[in-house]
Structure 1
Amino acid sequence: MNDDKQIIRDWLKQHQISEVEVLVPDLTGNARGKFIPAHQFLNDSLPKLPESILVQTVTGEYSDEHWEFVEPTDTDMLLKPDVSTLRVVPWAREPTAQIVHDCYNLKGQLHPLASRTILRKVLAAYQEAGLKPVVAPEVEFYLVARNLDSDYELEPPAGRSGRKETARLSYGIDAVAEFEDFVEDMYEFADAQQLDVDTLIHENGAAQLEINFRHGDPLSLADQVFVFKRTVRETAHKHNMYATFMAKPMRIEPGSALHIHQSVLDAETGRNIFAEDDGAFTPAILSYVAGLQRYTPELISLYAPNVNSYRRLAPDISAPINLNWGFDNRTTAFRVPHSEPDHTRVENRFPGADANPYLAIAASLASGLIGMREGLTPTEPHAGTANEDDVEVARTLEEGLRNLRATPALCDLFGDLFLRAYTAVKLDEFEEFNRVISSWEREHLLLQV
């Protein structure tokens, strides 16, 4: 810890930092924390935050069971900086640093309700098995015109031509160029923060973009997605528009996903355990896929964490609706792309862009690990269009939460306290949403039933 403190001290001095953002990912994957003057941050005491911030709903409320998961006295957590997450805040007016922190209880243990803790526990299970997982996220999002009244539907922003997109422009080069100023600033901000962003494409929706990250360590990539989402929102504000990671922000447009490519290496040799030298698949990748098939119905609420998430998981070419897998088949939930043997991987297409990246990556890796432990066997690979098959996953948040604690192996990995707290928070969000009477109901039911 003292070595880390010195590294941070030297870095802050080198960059002439005057203020530090102490960041903690909350249950939704958004940033909580505090601003601290740099000289004060470097004193001997660790920053603190009340542990109750870890069990707030997306609206900032608390569930009725709130005090079952945290101390009734609303005890503080100790926050320990992860020096690997030290970055500048390129949009700040004053020289500002940001550091993602791990949450500890007063006994010095990682806090069981913190998102980073959950991913760390899954990664520790891989380490114990002599394995090293590797992930590469793909993040989709929409640019939308500024919307100051939530009763009005969202619209695409005008590009440099002064016009709004109306056509399907997947992989359109000129379509991306419509937002060239935004894209250039976004890349500049990403470079300043040393985010491992790779390719940018225009997705199928109007003003919908996708950024791919280079493959790497799961915790580092979760941190980078966490930082990237802040970066995109800030860049959009700079250009007088919004960026949204809602799973389904517009009725007539496809949803936005957080696809997760994942492979597993032998920790000692560094070899990809999913393929032989000649490219033949190993039993490990088949059991990994089988684990994803077996446990996704229980973990779906970690991939689709909001009431809006399930609007994306509908019969459509853009999102999975069942548990099929296939070779280079983008209609399946779990896709194995054609690749060289050492790049053999599985793509989980279930998570939405609105998912907490720490929890989505943890859920996906946990499913695969348990599948390998149990030697599970997957179904036959799907050769056709999977979204013509029956729906096999939950269609509402409430339904998705029902079996979250059904498997002891998952409870051991995630912790029963976390799963109970997550369920309570998300059920509270569902019930609050369920009390809203929509315009559809007033239009079609008011005088006809």
Structure 2
Amino acid sequence: MDKLKKWLKENEITEVECVVSDLSGIARGKIAPVDKFINEGEMRLPESVLLQTVTGDYVDDDIYYALLDEADIDFICKPDEDAVYLLPWTVEKTAQIIHDTFDKMGNPIELTPRNVLKKVLKLYEEKNWKPVVAPEMEFYLTARCEDPDLPLEPPIGRSGRMETGRQSFSIDAANEFDPLFEDMYEWCETQGLAIDTLIHEEGVAQMEINFRHGDPLVLADQVFLFKRTLREAALKHQVVATFMSKPITDEPGSAMHLHQSIVDAKTGKNVFTNEDGTSSSLFYGHIAGLQQFIPEMLPMFAPNVNSFRRFLPDTSAPVNVEWGEENRTCGLRVPSCSPQARRVENRLPGADANSYLAIAASLLCGYIGMVRDLKPTPPAQGRGYEIRSPILPYTLEAALEMMENCDEVAEYLGESFARGYIAVKRKEQENFKRVISSWEREFLLLTV
């Protein structure tokens, strides 16, 4: 704690936000005066937050009490001294500190997404491999709306007008929201978030931010924090930023594309590349693992009912696990680059995915393919949108069933995580089914 205490004092911090990510990627925790935080040195939270849905409900009792103590005990949260961030939008000088979670015996909590990612990274460490990732986050800016039954609309830009039509890569369209993005970049720089290029995407007021490549745990933390940072910047400018996978009808969905490569931990060389510069067997094994296991771990890439709306026909999202060189219509794209930078881009994850779980799942799929020496299909040629891999589930219900039947999820990530995550997502699916949609009222109310 000495390093952390020194940082808090040097930055004149008065409040500390102690946070962990729940299964849905929501920040849970406590806000404490800095003196109390220093004196106690750790935080406690009830175990129940680990099985809480995005709606605030809990899973059914049979799962709840099978995975958690009946007395609803606390688990222990300890600050990670390398995950400390200065919040630039607060009135008081406030630090946000990501915590790791443990039981009373000091064992990592299996249900915590950050621990899930750490477990996968340990597998790589044991092979003397070091993964490198670079996320790309798509999102929409929308006008503020208090009624969730009303469709979202584009916000008013500097010109005083709403954006219309397709504005892919338009500089002027992105500049409509310059004041917001200036705050976003400044606030990210203050926190040390490694964001890079800003791009206007295909949808109306849809943008993309690229992160610089780096350590998977650090990048997962940064994506987790970036979502909150962007939302705060948007609220300051009277608009809304959303990472919903498919927030607007007939507009493209939002993805979290993951670029991933593996280097030798001792030499720093890319294990995807042979000495002569050609693609290695480990590279092909990694692709094959992604092809085989993405369908079985899809709920970690597409975690919500809304996620699967992005996979509907004509939505610009590749609904397949094909791979191809420089082919954005494939679920797995191999960018054109130097041999040392050889990597795979997983284009299946949605922007709504929990960054820890999406990165963990993507790396785990590739890892299994590497250690089992799996072989990929031949690379796809031409337009891949029409290639709808029959093994890819297209509803959350079907995806959860496939995940439940995947032995590798429990084997590598733990049985408690597998049962808990599936139970949380099934509870959310059940809650969704209880809501009568506007489509049903419009087309069924007076016709059936």
Work out whether the TM-score is over 0.5: yes
CA distance in 1, matches of 2:170, 2:345: 23
Counterpart in the other structure of 2:202: 204
Give CA-to-partner distance per residue, 1:267-313, whole Å, 9 cap, x none.
11111011124431111111100000100111000000001000001
CA distance in 1, matches of 2:388, 2:149: 34
Give CA-to-partner distance per residue, 1:132-152, whole Å, 9 cap, x none.
101000001111000100110
The answer on whether the counterparts of 1:21 and 1:35 sit within 8 Å (CA) in structure 2 is yes
CA distance in 1, matches of 2:387, 2:226: 35
Counterpart in the other structure of 1:90: 88
Counterpart in the other structure of 2:167: 169
Counterpart in the other structure of 1:68: 66
The answer on whether the counterparts of 1:262 and 1:347 sit within 8 Å (CA) in structure 2 is yes
Deviation at 1:66, TM superposition (A): 2.0
Find 2:14's aligned residue among 15, 18, 31: 18
Amino acid in structure 2 at the alignment position of 1:122? V
CA distance in 2, matches of 1:212, 1:421: 31
Deviation at 1:44, TM superposition (A): 4.4
CA distance in 2, matches of 1:187, 1:277: 39
Amino acid in structure 1 at the alignment position of 2:412? L
Identical pairs, percent:
53
- Aligned counterparts, 1:237-252, within 5 A: 237-252=235-250
CA distance in 1, matches of 2:300, 2:182: 32
Q: Establish whether residue 80 from structure 1 lines up as the match of residue 78 from structure 2.
A: yes
Counterpart in the other structure of 1:413: 412
Amino acid in structure 2 at the alignment position of 1:330? R
CA distance in 2, matches of 1:45, 1:223: 21
Counterpart in the other structure of 1:125: 123
Counterpart in the other structure of 2:316: 318
The answer on whether the counterparts of 1:135 and 1:261 sit within 8 Å (CA) in structure 2 is yes
Give CA-to-partner distance per residue, 1:58-79, whole Å, 9 cap, x none.
0010011322221111111111
Amino acid in structure 2 at the alignment position of 1:422? Y
Counterpart in the other structure of 1:182: 180
Q: What do you get for the CA RMSD once the two structures are aligned?
A: 1.1
* Unaligned stretches of 5+ residues in structure 1: none
Give CA-to-partner distance per residue, 1:169-219, whole Å, 9 cap, x none.
111111111000001000000000000111111000111110000110000
Counterpart in the other structure of 1:160: 158
CA distance in 2, matches of 1:152, 1:141: 19
Deviation at 1:101, TM superposition (A): 0.3
CA distance in 1, matches of 2:83, 2:274: 35
Counterpart in the other structure of 1:372: 370
The answer on whether the counterparts of 2:409 and 2:418 sit within 8 Å (CA) in structure 1 is no
After alignment, is 178-187 or 60-69 more displaced? 60-69
Give CA-to-partner distance per residue, 1:398-441, whole Å, 9 cap, x none.
11100213333332211011110111110011111112222222
Counterpart in the other structure of 1:352: 350
Deviation at 1:443, TM superposition (A): 2.8
CA distance in 1, matches of 2:443, 2:38: 61
Counterpart in the other structure of 2:444: 445
CA distance in 2, matches of 1:372, 1:52: 36
Amino acid in structure 1 at the alignment position of 2:420? A
CA distance in 1, matches of 2:419, 2:126: 26
Residue 99 of structure 1 aligns to a residue whose secondary structure is: strand
Amino acid in structure 1 at the alignment position of 2:273? A
> CA 1:194–1:242 in structure 2 vs 1: closer, same or farther (change >3 Å)?
same
Residue 379 of structure 1 aligns to a residue whose secondary structure is: coil
Give CA-to-partner distance per residue, 1:312-364, whole Å, 9 cap, x none.
01223521211111001000000000001111000000000000000000000
The answer on whether the counterparts of 1:277 and 1:341 sit within 8 Å (CA) in structure 2 is no
Counterpart in the other structure of 1:274: 272
Q: How many residues align?
A: 445
Deviation at 1:235, TM superposition (A): 0.3
CA distance in 1, matches of 2:130, 2:404: 26
> CA 1:340–1:317 in structure 2 vs 1: closer, same or farther (change >3 Å)?
farther
Amino acid in structure 1 at the alignment position of 2:422? T
Amino acid in structure 2 at the alignment position of 1:407? C
CA distance in 2, matches of 1:57, 1:44: 29
Counterpart in the other structure of 2:301: 303
Residue 43 of structure 1 aligns to a residue whose secondary structure is: helix
Amino acid in structure 2 at the alignment position of 1:254? P
Residue 430 of structure 2 aligns to a residue whose secondary structure is: helix
The answer on whether the counterparts of 1:317 and 1:387 sit within 8 Å (CA) in structure 2 is no
The answer on whether the counterparts of 2:41 and 2:78 sit within 8 Å (CA) in structure 1 is no
Counterpart in the other structure of 1:227: 225
Counterpart in the other structure of 1:402: 401
Amino acid in structure 2 at the alignment position of 1:443? E
Find 2:214's aligned residue among 202, 213, 216: 216
The answer on whether the counterparts of 1:366 and 1:410 sit within 8 Å (CA) in structure 2 is no
CA distance in 1, matches of 2:41, 2:443: 60
CA distance in 1, matches of 2:115, 2:144: 36
Counterpart in the other structure of 1:263: 261
CA distance in 2, matches of 1:11, 1:281: 45
TM-score (norm 1): 0.97
* Unaligned stretches of 5+ residues in structure 2: none
